[in-house]
Amino acid sequence: MKYKRILLKLSGEALMGDRQYGIDPVRLAEYAEEIKQIHDKGIEIAIVIGGGNIFRGVAGASNGMDRVQGDYMGMLATIINGMALQGALEDKGMLTRLQTALKIEAIAEPYIKRRAVRHLEKGRIVIFGAGTGNPYFTTDTAAVLRGVEINADVILKGTRVDGVYDSDPEKNAAALKFDTISFEDVLKKGLNVMDTTAFTLSQENKLPIVIFDMNKKGNLVKICEGDNIGTVVNI
């Protein structure tokens, strides 16, 4: 396998499936099966999920809500998604741990770096909830931060598009897809890969990012096997 330890970043919206909001159990089961395939091959897996399918702090702030309050609500949404994914993974027979940046001991462990690494070494899948635990930071930033902390080999960002393009492929049929691109070129071209804080943190720590279509069956395992899937952002 190309990678020994990965940080998988999933958007909250991805869990909606064809719904308008919330969690689609069918999509959740599909993701759990994809994750099981790489888990069975011995890859150590950590996961960060967004909360946009339930609540997005920025959207709340745009409607007059206090941004800090909204962001904390968004963090709780990521914990709900983390619990849902945890249940789906355990239904497939995998051992998991949910760690959160906010203390909710009744349902999850507090985030402790050494404990998280130990879980990974024992073959448990670790889900990180509540982002960084601070308002004004996205789950993209949380994913890169946790990836750096646990010494992940790569950030795998599962989206609904199959890579990075020079323009929006949903609006421009002639958009050009990049198989590989440097951090520097992403910034020069003004391409949207992750928010600036997350992207800069990844660049500074030389942690590559792979953007790929999580909804296409088999993509996750193919990436881990070294196939040229999606777009690789590297130094």
- Please indicate if the annotation marks 9 as binding a ligand: yes
Q: Both tokens of residue 9?
A: 């970043």
- Please indicate if the annotation marks 11 as binding a ligand: yes
- Please indicate if the annotation marks 76 as binding a ligand: no
- Please indicate if the annotation marks 18 as binding a ligand: no
- Please indicate if the annotation marks 168 as binding a ligand: yes
CA distance 188 to 150: 29
Do 137 and 200 form a contact (C-beta atoms < 8 A)?
A: no
The DSSP bridge pattern shows strands 177-178 and 164-165 to be: antiparallel
- Please indicate if the annotation marks 51 as binding a ligand: yes
- Please indicate if the annotation marks 111 as binding a ligand: no
- Please indicate if the annotation marks 180 as binding a ligand: no
- Please indicate if the annotation marks 137 as binding a ligand: yes
- Please indicate if the annotation marks 159 as binding a ligand: yes
What does R_g of the chain's alpha carbons equal in angstroms? 17
- Please indicate if the annotation marks 31 as binding a ligand: no
**How distant is the alpha carbon of residue 206 from its chain centre?**
18
- Please indicate if the annotation marks 56 as binding a ligand: yes
Stated as kind and residue range, the H or E segment containing 200 is helix 196-204
- Please indicate if the annotation marks 5 as binding a ligand: no
- Please indicate if the annotation marks 96 as binding a ligand: no
Tell me the binding residues.
9-12, 51-52, 56, 71, 132-139, 159, 165, 168
Tell me the binding residues for ATP.
9-12, 52, 56, 159, 165, 168
Tell me the binding residues for UMP.
51, 71, 132-139
